[in-house]
Structure 1
Amino acid sequence: MTYAQKIANLFQMTDEVWARHANPWSVWTRYAALPLLILAVWSRIWLGWGAIAPTSIVLLWIWVNPRIFPKPQTTDNWASKAVLGERVWLNRQEVPIPKHHNPVIAFTNTINAIGFVICVWGLVTLAVYPTLLGLSWVILGKTWFLDRMVWLFDEMRDRQPHYRDWLY
Structure 2
Amino acid sequence: MNAQKLANIFHMTDTVWARHANPWSVWTRYGSLPLLIGAIWSRVWLSWGALIPTLVVILWIWLNPRVFPKPNTTRQWASKGVIGERIWLNQKQVPIPSHHHPVIAFTNTINAIGFGICVWGLWSLAPWPTVLGLSWVILGKTWFLDRMVWLCDEMAECHPQYQNWLY
Alignment deviations for residues 74-130 of structure 1 (CA, whole Å, 9 cap, x no partner): 001000000000000000010000000000000000000000000000000000000
Matched-pair identity in %: 74
- Rounded Cα–Cα distance in structure 2 between residues aligned with 1:127 and 1:53: 22
- Rounded Cα–Cα distance in structure 2 between residues aligned with 1:78 and 1:153: 10
Q: Counterpart in 1 of 2:113?
A: 114
Whether 1:131 and 2:130 are equivalent positions in the alignment is yes
TM-score scaled by structure 2?
Answer: 0.99
Whether 1:15 and 2:14 are equivalent positions in the alignment is yes
Q: Counterpart in 2 of 1:152?
A: 151
Amino acid at match of 1:59: I
3-state SS in 2 of match to 1:165: helix
3-state SS in 1 of match to 2:165: coil
Q: How much has 1:19 moved relative to structure 2? A: 0.2
- Rounded Cα–Cα distance in structure 1 between residues aligned with 2:123 and 2:49: 17
Q: Counterpart in 2 of 1:39?
A: 38
Whether 1:59 and 2:71 are equivalent positions in the alignment is no
Whether 1:90 and 2:89 are equivalent positions in the alignment is yes
Structure 2's unaligned 5+ residue stretches are none
TM-score scaled by structure 1?
Answer: 0.99
Q: How much has 1:131 moved relative to structure 2? A: 0.1
Amino acid at match of 2:81: A
- Rounded Cα–Cα distance in structure 1 between residues aligned with 2:3 and 2:25: 19
Q: Counterpart in 1 of 2:99?
A: 100
- Give every structure 1 segment of 4 or more consecutive aligned residues whose post-TM-superposition deviation is greater than 4 Å: none
Alignment deviations for residues 33-60 of structure 1 (CA, whole Å, 9 cap, x no partner): 0000000000000000000000000000
Amino acid at match of 1:148: R
